[in-house]
Structure 1
Amino acid sequence: MLSQVVKISILFLLGFCTLIEPVFSQDQFEFSGKRKRQQINFKAARGLVVVPMYINHKGPFNFILDTGVGITIITDPKLKDSLDLKYLRKMQLYGLGEDTSLSAYTTPFLDFKVGAAQAKSCAAAILDQDVLNLSGYAGMPIHGLLGYDFFKSFKVRINYQSRFLKIYKNNLSIFLRKGNRINLDIEENKPYVNVIADATEHKKIPLKMLIDTGSGNTLSLESYQKSPFPLPNKFVIANLGVGLGGNIRGFKGRLEKLKIGKFGLDSIIAAFPYYEDVAAKITSVERNGSIGNPFFKKFDVLFDYQNSCIYLKGNTTLKEPFEYDMSGLELVASGNKFDEFFVTRVEIGSPADEFGVKVGDQLLSINFNPAEKLSLDEICQIFSSKNDRSLYLEMARGQDIYRGILTLKRRI
């Protein structure tokens, strides 16, 4: 991936939902009338699933469908005023990353609507500051995260290639034909799965992993036997994202193999966060790491929380190799239309570093295609497309413009 500015959904894993959920109990989503199922089209932003949701009959607002959160999160603080929210209770949140805290509000009286599914008098948390900048990461407006309360209410099928959700009432007998059923443990409102990994000098390691559809990392390997997960022989220093507690530092490398159910996937891009930034701060469900959306994009997926399982069926991308950014650039989208792209980080020794790119520079064009005509998704795909591919870039530094050839290099 081009940018790892946000590791989206590890942000609320520490005590956040335990602070809120005993105070406000949320109703589940339900269909009105006799409806039993519905198909909902979604937007794919950096590979994440973004669904339209109405709040108090206003919207639609863009929410990331995120199994890694246990309560609905409004990440755009401007909605606090535009929705005229009342009965707000202020609180301090502490999360993963460096040692900082963040103010947020809770409110118990919101009505949500996704497609024909509604939930009334629900609780939500509203961030006081947009520290995560999910909109800049996704390249489109993002207003929040929708998690457990949606998944517990339905059987949820995600077809990444066709970009649609299908949601079914829990009392229907639904499964993926020719799909592989894999048991889940639903603990503290989040799904965990047992997998087998092959890592450097360690073969067939059993791991307990959080399924985190709101994560932009394919895998996050946080700990093994209560110590930092062993690094592979080849890795790069990386900024793995932003949590409630600040930046999440670490490395990117490859895991030799991961077996989930009957599927064995090789040479998977993995994040290895600093132990003190993530694993040492997790005091709830003990785990080894998490599996993110770039992994599940290779499957047709059906979540069935009621029966504590997930179904996986490989799609046409299953055997395609996992790739990582080959430029060394991290970008964020800005502007009213999120069509301006600025450099937030340059990896030392990378092609971008050798090209002379500096933090704050703006990407103007790639191969004579104006950047404003490209989505952040498309730019990410270009920069992770092919080893030794040459790209003609046009960049701006203030009023100065510079141009030249940048040759991609596979770094891990």
Structure 2
Amino acid sequence: MKKLFFILSFLLCQCSFAQKTLPILKSNAKTIKIREGKSEIHEQHPIAKANPDVYVPKPFTKTQEITYISDIDSITFKVEMNKIVDFLIVQNGKDTIKTQINTNRNQVISYPKYAYTKNKSAKHDTIPFSIGEDSRIYLKGSINNSDTLTFLFDTGASGMVISTPLIDKKVKVKLDGSFLNVGSDGVERVPTSSQNKLTINGLTWNQVPLLAIDFGDSPFDAVLGWVAFQNKVLKINYETKKMIVYDSLPPISGDFRKVDFRLIDGIPYIKCKMIVNNTEYEEWFDFDSGSDGSLSISKEYFTKHNLAGKLNKLGESGWIGTADINIVTDVLLLRRLKIADFELYNIQLSVPQKDPDTPDRLGNIGNLILKRFTTIIDFRNNCMYLNPNNLMYSRMD
């Protein structure tokens, strides 16, 4: 089964607001309503210090009307894809907020500096974890000095998330914005919080931005994305149940195999080979420790490579992502999968009966497979080192 998979894109919008006259929206309230098209309305909390405050609408074809509605005024723009619209919001007749509608889907992705500080001196930092019944990685920590929370460590997430029902009940979080979250099942505008303190096993991250998403009855309170360890080297050892964070690459034994990865929409992907009837199908797969599944590919890829009828069907399953859309998948038997020069056998391969409305059409490799390797991820040089552990040939269910 597939779980949440989101991309938190912090867009670099270096735009010139000077030397030109811009449209103005007047407001006496802190909250602005935004209408996409004729009916869909979201709320936005403009943030002056964002410079500019950026709104990214859902993908559309040709043109779309975007309307900003305040308590005393409104303004409508007819926008095109891959364009930028700049304007100003003037609050209470004095505070001017530089504002932007950005439909550029090819915008470069960057991230805030998720640098942590240590509470004690050490050559490297160690974070203990547990492996849930769903095969995923769970950590203990807190947000804004809260009581202990359970974190899902998710390499398939480029940001950090808190479960919405916890806010103001178990965790104090100030929601001061919103963002278009792109999930594996669709897109959804979600609330955001710009300044938070994260603490995990003696490590502290300050000024951390968070998304707020309702996880329902999931066994975790928050999600810790890979960006918490950007510019670091991270070793995940499922035998000792410890993650070790290094400033530079440690000595690596010859048992490890090097695998290059690339960031696609802010998520690490590695190449894997599916072997069907002695034919190799190589593709980029999302390296997703936050997934409780094994392997999945899109319906588009499945059809394009004429795989129908070549794999035995085991059954059907379903999952719901962050956009709360139910996705039904066919579960097929993949006899062989190759990662670097390691082979795994009898893999459950999931293929959606209909692809969700997301831009990703590549594959996903979940923690049911990833847990079988001791992994060293060098986020500085975009490469990984894999070595099979004692779970390598354990059951795949």
Normalised to the residue count of structure 2, the TM-score between the two structures is: 0.67
Read off the aligned partner of 2:381 and give its amino acid letter.
N
Matched, 1:295 2:373: no
Look up the match of 1:43: 130
Matched, 1:210 2:210: no
Look up the match of 1:30: 116
Look up the match of 1:59: 147
Is the 2:194–2:207 Cα contact (8 Å) retained in structure 1? Answer: yes
Q: Cα RMSD between the aligned structures?
A: 2.7
Tell me the CA shift for residue 103 of structure 1.
Answer: 5.3
Is the 1:228–1:275 Cα contact (8 Å) retained in structure 2? Answer: no
Is the 2:270–2:285 Cα contact (8 Å) retained in structure 1? Answer: yes
Tell me the CA shift for residue 106 of structure 1.
Answer: 0.6
Deviations 1:199-241, CA, capped at 9 Å, x for gaps: 3x57111111110000011111224558477352233121144
Tell me the CA shift for residue 270 of structure 1.
Answer: 1.7
CA distance in 1, matches of 2:3, 2:394: 24
Compared CA separation, residues 180 and 304, structure 1 to 2 (3 A): same
CA distance in 2, matches of 1:176, 1:134: 37
Tell me the CA shift for residue 188 of structure 1.
Answer: 2.8
Unaligned runs of 5+ in 1: 136-141, 324-412
State percent identity of aligned pairs.
Answer: 19
CA distance in 2, matches of 1:165, 1:213: 13
Look up the match of 2:316: 237
Q: How does 1:352-363 map to 2 (within 5 A)?
A: none
Bigger Rg over Cα: 2
The equivalent position to 2:201 in structure 1, one of 88, 100, 115, is 115
Read off the aligned partner of 1:212 and give its amino acid letter.
D
CA distance in 2, matches of 1:300, 1:93: 31
Aligned residues: 297
Look up the match of 2:218: 134
Does the residue aligned with 2:167 lie in a helix, a strand or coil? helix
Tell me the CA shift for residue 259 of structure 1.
Answer: 0.8
The equivalent position to 1:312 in structure 2, one of 381, 386, 393, is 386
Matched, 1:184 2:184: no
Q: How does 1:12-411 map to 2 (within 5 A)?
A: 12-13=6-7, 17-18=8-9, 26-32=112-118, 34-45=121-132, 46-90=134-178, 93=181, 95-97=183-185, 102=188, 104-127=190-213, 129-131=214-216, 133-135=217-219, 142-169=220-247, 171-175=248-252, 178-199=255-276, 201=277, 203-223=279-299, 225=301, 227=303, 230-231=307-308, 232-277=311-356, 281-283=357-359, 287-323=361-397
The equivalent position to 1:9 in structure 2, one of 4, 8, 25, is 4
Look up the match of 2:34: none
Does the residue aligned with 2:246 lie in a helix, a strand or coil? strand
Tell me the CA shift for residue 305 of structure 1.
Answer: 1.2
Normalised to the residue count of structure 1, the TM-score between the two structures is: 0.65
Read off the aligned partner of 1:301 and give its amino acid letter.
T
CA distance in 1, matches of 2:395, 2:144: 43
